[in-house]
Chain A
Amino acid sequence: MRYRFAMFTLRLDNNTWLLAAMALAIAPHTPRLPIWISLLCLAVGAMRLIEVRLPARWLLITLAAATAAGIYASYHTLLGRDAGVALLVAMLTLKLLESRTLRDSMVAIFISYFLVITHFLYSQTIPTGLYLLLVVLIITATLIGINHPGRQIEPRKQLRLAAVLLGQAVPVMLVLFLFFPRVPGPLWGMPTDAYEGMTGLSDSMAPGSISKLSQSGAVAFRVAFDGSPPKPEQRYWRGPVLDFFDGRSWSATAAPDPKPADITVTGDPVSYTLTLEPHNKRWLLALDLPAKLPPASRLGPHYELLADQPVRQRLRYRAVSYPNYRAGLYPGATELNRSLRLPALGNLKTREMAGAWKRAAKDDGEIVQRALELFRNEAFFYSLTPPLLGINSVDEFLFDTRRGFCEHYAGSFVFLMRAAGVPARVVTGYQGGETNPFGNYLIVRQSDAHAWAEVWLKDRGWVRVDPTAAVAPRRIESGLAAALPAGEPLPLLARMDNAWLMQLRMSWDTLNNDWNQWVLGYGQERQYDLLSRLGFEMASWKELAVSLTAGVGALLLAFSGFMLWRRVPVGADPASVIYQRFCRKLARAGIVRLPNEGPADFAQRTAMLRPDLALSSTSISELYIALRYAPHPNASDLRQFGKRVRAFQSQLPD
């Protein structure tokens, strides 16, 4: 007659929950997985859905071995981030094929939880977080369903209970987030393949490389200035400096002297906090020219800011720059020689023209002016889609096609200068940036990537010259979208026409920035900052561990204390809660309601024992009965009831 000890079997409902939870947990990985793993997942899921007989053990072992071999064939390893995730997904899926008992389902659920974490190895954005929260909710609901043997509970209740559980975990999560000891750098070593596919500047520049980058709307970095930001034409963010030309592309030579040449600065400094997105290279971006350097960095030979380690996670640093500077008045001979080198062959027409300029010019400054006038006065066009160039790329560009992006102008300008005997080099980086009015900071995107030139003039040192400014002045003043002629295909994010879209984009970026700064960027430094404000001076990880334990313990204690104090289950009928107060009050007066005593009986007994309370207790009981047992109780009755009980509580002395 009793079913209490009936064997637990996996029912279809729980099965469906489990499949849904796993599908949601696996789904975002599918674009990164080999197609055959996705197909395997689908096939196994379908098999479970139509409840095919589960395969025999030997077949299962063969299948698992074959899958592992397949993953090895796809990745040539079983270790690392990508192969590891693939292995986890495949084995979780295969687990379904031997899910017979409760324990098997529990294992599948816990692997699903673990799988949720692996998504953060790829993306840590707000949408990812929200999605994974949903997945955790579904997995938890599945866990609840599976551990609820008696009857199947309603899906809505299941979800609500899961949400309550997650809600209860929030305080613990906050304590862990704030107090878990942070170490500089990632907590655990990330596999090396985790840093592939990051976009950003590269250490060489060929025609087309920057225009390709400018199609990306991805954020390169964000800057918050202490004072007002510098004018747009001063916003040159220096990246890699390229001083070697092989006839087609520019690249950096490994400098033998890592010490930069002399710098003298004048004017007011600009100080700012820059949050750099990871790009897996060593350079840090800084406004020309940086004077105060962030920690763990140094100034390279060409005044570029270099970190000691590749930037593999979002980096936040402070820097101070002087827009007015004089640099490299007395450079070494090797540096100047390197800035004059050209390939032995090719681009004869350009060399010829440069030679003519050199003969005619009084000094180097005049040659620079002649080159800029060439770009300004002749029919040169600024374009994201220039024609392809052949072997003599500089000749073809300067004399035939005359359509190009900043890398064409910077590259050919430096070539001209070197051919005319003026030391020059290409500087890449970012120029401009978009002010976000909501967060009061500057967003610099990959589409702001830029290339310009630096020439060395006697008595003036290295001077920035931007040939693109001569062709398309608006590129420097107002950004890419304004500079491109109508009809050019624009990167989507550079479009400026739609006001509300623009506003939406800016608000979203502000949110992302805050997320980056305060959630993802909550590292050791910020933790120390917070703790010192709380009174922990120089907290060691031991103190942190103690406060962590104490914090979680205090939370749990507070929570259980609260539950004990309320003495009613969460989600109880409000009328019942108020009635309990009434009963407790009477209990203190010596009239204890028996647990199985109905409200009417209790009122009658109260009236008998304390005739002075008969009237009030009877009317309270009547209201309670009406609220709890009569059809259609209404809110005003409940208020009335609460009022009467409060009046009763104050009427009866303790």
Chain B
Amino acid sequence: MSVLVVIECDKGEVKKSSLEVATYASQVAQQLGTTATAVAVGEATEDNLAKLGEQGISKVLYDAEPRLKDFVNGAYTKLIAAAAEQESAQVLVLANSNIGAAVGSRLSIRLKASLATNAVELPKTDGGQFVVKRGAFSGKALADVALTTDRKIIAVKKNSIEAQHEAGKTASVENFSANLTDADFADAPKEVVMQDQAGGVLLPEADLVVSGGRGMKGPENWNLIEDLAKALGAATACSKPVSDTDWRPHHEHVGQTGITISPNLYIACGISGAIQHLAGVNSSKVIVVINKDPEAPFFKAADYGIVGDVFDVLPKLTQAVKELG
């Protein structure tokens, strides 16, 4: 019996969300009195995988097959299932990412497991139960879900647990092969296109996000958003009307039908705060709202607010960040 965690890597680095799930997995292993093993996917280096020891991982399985560098649903599913069988994994932990959800749902069938996605806390395991708290109703509610089969799969929402770093601890890295064949790569991507990230910060992984709405009046004013984001080291985002009118690309749209984010800080500039927008950001730890309309509904969901003109306020904020050093 063990806990197996899926680690996503990109350009040699372990993704931040995967450091979080590694921490989550080693804490679940402690609860169950067992150890946590990882299986890594994507482009990784042995050094970075060994460092997963800092998150409490004892062993990392890695298949260096070059075609696994990009996400391939069929091959990833087979690889992780084989790792779960080898390690007799009772609990499988993944990030609640586009990769994690895609393979996690297939694995739940293949491994006859019960699945909880969007998990926000460690499971409660007292009294023979296994209950996971997860976000539901687009962030407007939380649900405790009992997983009732022997095997369990948990996909953990980003920023739900802080990654621990126990300096000096290393994991052993082992070559692992699931004997993948060409058929397993039938749905391999023909092409992978990465977006230009403003300031180089990836929105779904970002700790800090600066976001603009219709109150920005036009795409030509986005330098104000970008300047503040750059000063903070934040990613940029936008509301639905902004992406609908092509002021900004669709991948920046956060909200009910855009992406859901839960950064430590979300700064909303000229966004009124429609309930559909809040659904995408309401699990952010701290929300700042800047709007000239004091009646904007977003202020009710905010921690800090400035009633004022974004064109006036944003440069002042950027300046103040620069002065912080």
Q: Are A and B interaction partners?
A: no
Q: Which residues of B contact A (CB under 8 A)?
A: none
